[in-house]
Amino acid sequence: MPFSQNFDTSQTVGYPSIVTIEDTSTGSDGNIASRRVFLVNSEGEYVVPSGTSTDYVVWPYADSEIDIDCLDFDSALDITVLWLDNSNVTLYSKTLLKGFTLYNNTFLYGLTQAEATQSKPPNIIQDTQYLQNKAALQIYIDSGNQAITYGDDIVSAQNMYNAATYMTDNQNEFF
């Protein structure tokens, strides 16, 4: 069966700085020896783990997934995976735009937990401004995700994620 390149991404609750990339390719090509991962943000800058001297992360072909610790806040990233031969010649490549929102979604869930612990009035969820701000936070996250899904628009996605991050960074003002 011919090789058909593909990958998927995820984050793990509790580790919002880590992007996990899983090779979901099908078929085979005996010439593939390694992979490289390029992560590019909305400003066109390469995103790599601290201490990395290249614009990419090496991903050994023997490993079906790789964890890349590179995020400080929610980010929209163009991710390119290259499948290389022994001479580092690119045999296959694939680029996907992905959104990573675990920082703000974790904060949002923390608000939900706080609400659930309140059993009697005055209840925080009776505060109209609080609820409007919580809804705005969710809308910013959702809007960033929609910019990726429906518009393939990294700039709009990052702007929405930045708006959500502003709210969580200034939680005393909003929550």
Q: How many angstroms separate the Cα of 124 from the Cα of each of 78, 107, 112, 129, 168?
A: 39, 16, 10, 10, 17
Last-in-domain residue among 74, 100, 126: 100
Tell whether 94 and 121 lie within a shared domain: no
Tell whether 33 and 94 lie within a shared domain: yes
Tell whether 73 and 106 lie within a shared domain: no
* Confidence check: pLDDT of 121 > 60: no
* Confidence check: pLDDT of 120 > 80: no
Q: How many structural domains does the chain have? A: 2
1 within domain boundaries: no
Q: Specify the pLDDT at position 127.
A: 73
* Confidence check: pLDDT of 61 > 80: yes
Q: Specify the pLDDT at position 122.
A: 58
Residue 40 domain boundaries? 7-100
* Distance, C-alpha 3 to centroid of its chain: 26
2 within domain boundaries: no
Last-in-domain residue among 100, 130, 145: 100
133 within domain boundaries: yes
Going by C-alpha positions, the residue among 9, 2, 11 that lies closest to residue 23 is 9
Going by C-alpha positions, the residue among 164, 120, 158, 125 that lies closest to residue 141 is 164
Tell whether 58 and 142 lie within a shared domain: no
DSSP of 87-140: T--EEEEEEEEEEE-HHHHHHHHHHHHHHHT--SSSPGGG-HHHHHHHHHHHHH
